[in-house]
Amino acid sequence: MIRIQLKLMTSEAALSEQSYAGEDHYSVEHWAMNRAHQIVVHQGMSLVEAAQCLDHKRTNANTYALRKAIVDCLVEAFSHGSKVPMVAAE
């Protein structure tokens, strides 16, 4: 499990560097990819560990933390949404 976390943390750092390397602008796609990756690495892995340990109390707490991180991310996206042009789906 620790190896998985280290790989995820390493890939998170690499993803962050790739997103900004050679980019003069910050796209919503890069932001969304980075945020989703951060949520999975942090809250997702905590939830997996708690579930594997069969720790019901920690599993519930980490489920709530994961849900809150997703909601916070969506709120952040909507609050900054007026700055990024959105293309309507066909």
The C-alpha atoms of residue 55 and residue 75 are separated, in whole angstroms, by 30
In a domain, 61, yes or no: yes
21 within a domain of the structure (yes/no): no
The whole domain housing 73 covers: 43-81
**Chain position carrying tokens 């709120």:** 75
- The model's confidence at residue 43, banded by pLDDT at 50, 70 and 90, is very high
Count helices and strands in the chain by DSSP H and E runs: 4, 0
Give the number of other CB atoms < 10 A from CB of residue 52.
10
Q: Which region among 26-30, 40-44, 75-79 has the lowest average model confidence (pLDDT)? A: 26-30
pLDDT tens string 8-40: 555 555 555 554 444 545 688 888 889 999 999
- Cα–Cα distance between 9 and 11 in angstroms, integer? 5
Q: Are 28 and 74 in contact (CB under 8 A)?
A: no
pLDDT at 64 over 60: yes
44 pLDDT more than 60: yes
Domain count of the fold of the chain: 1
Whether this model's pTM surpasses 0.95: no
The Cα 67–Cα 26 span in angstroms is 26
Q: Is position 22 within any domain?
A: no
